[in-house]
Amino acid sequence: METRAEFATYPSLRDRVVVITGGASGIGEAIVEAFAANQSRVAFLDLQVEAGEQLVARLKNAGASEPVFVRCDLTDIEALQEAVRGILEQFGAIDALVNNAANDTRHSVDEVTPELWERTMAVNLRHQFFMAQAVIPVMKQAGRGSIINMSSISWMVPSTGLPVYVTAKAAVVGMTRTLAHELGRHNIRVNAVLPGAIMTERQKRLWYTEEYKAEILAAQALKRFILPEEVARLILFLAADDSSAITSQSYVIDAGWV
């Protein structure tokens, strides 16, 4: 008889205000679900209105803490800042930020134009800095906070076929380390999470050919695919008080690829 796995819950996350970017689908959706299940007060930002509203309705019907969906184009920094102000007006605090939003659309070196470069950096790197900048004042006032930046193992492998994305994800680690040392005296922790090949619906639809799946399993130490909820469980730990002494670190979750 198969037994159902049980996973940790974190009492310190109850009623904490958590902001998640790109929370309507994929890894972000799993992160929203995980914090809601821990009874956090969740606000998530995304451009996907239908998916965002469906997620709110599903979690409400499941009896989890009901998240707030904020439609926001994160490449528009003024809109991003306005969204954070609205969240603060509603909740009065922000205890954790998960900078999750990204786009790994494939591109070759030859087709990179200045416009593609700027667009790719805007969606994969720039908003992470400005989201952090927007929440830092309220975290300083509270005397604590956790910022979790999503990077990727793509720059460690290294990956090919998406050079600007890989550059952005490497930069996330550098940004994480400098912010951790800038903000540590305020008891604000900053860490990065570096997923490998995660089995999201987008990845399955666009990239997971039989050949690519075989390549993944051959490279990994664990011969199975990683699910979005497994990434979310790592992020819960980094947001909770259980990790209160951890900052300036990069956590790889890739089933042993690198």
Give the per-residue pLDDT at 37.
95
209 C-beta neighbours (distance < 10 Å), count: 9
In the residue annotation, 251 being an active-site residue is answered as no
The rounded Cα 246 to chain-centroid distance in angstroms is 18
- Is 6 within the bounds of a domain? no
Its domain, for residue 234, covers 12-253
User: What was the pLDDT predicted at 63?
Assistant: 78
User: Does 16 reside within a domain?
Assistant: yes
Q: Which of 127, 118, 103, 121 is nearest to 19 (CA)?
A: 127
Look at residue 4 and tell me if it is in a domain: no
Per-residue pLDDT of the chain (258 residues; tens, 9 = 90+): 445 578 999 999 999 999 999 999 999 999 999 999 999 999 999 999 999 999 999 999 887 789 999 999 999 999 999 999 999 999 999 999 999 999 999 999 999 999 999 999 999 999 999 999 999 999 999 999 999 999 999 999 999 999 999 999 999 999 999 999 999 999 999 999 999 999 888 877 876 889 989 999 999 999 999 999 999 999 999 999 999 999 999 999 999 999
Helix (H) or strand (E) holding 178: helix 163-183
Specify if 166 maps to a domain: yes
**Catalytic pick from 10, 165, 208, 251?**
165
User: Does the predicted model carry a pTM greater than 0.85?
Assistant: yes
Domains contained in the chain, number: 1
> What is the C-alpha to C-alpha distance for residues 236 and 252, in angstroms, rounded to an integer?
15
Closest to 125 in 3D by CA, of 175, 76, 160: 175
* Beta-carbon contacts of residue 97 (< 8 Å; ≥ 6 apart): 18, 19, 20, 131, 132, 135, 145, 146, 147, 148
Query: Does residue 198 form part of some domain?
Result: yes
Coil/strand/helix, residue 252: strand
Q: How much is the pLDDT for 4? A: 59
CATH number for the domain harbouring residue 219: 3.40.50.720
Tell whether 258 is covered by a domain.
no
**Model pLDDT, residue 1:** 41
Number of H helices, E strands in the chain: 9, 7
Is 3 part of any domain?
Answer: no
Asked, for residue 2, whether it belongs to a domain, the answer is no
Q: Cβ(71)–Cβ(52) under 8 Å?
A: yes
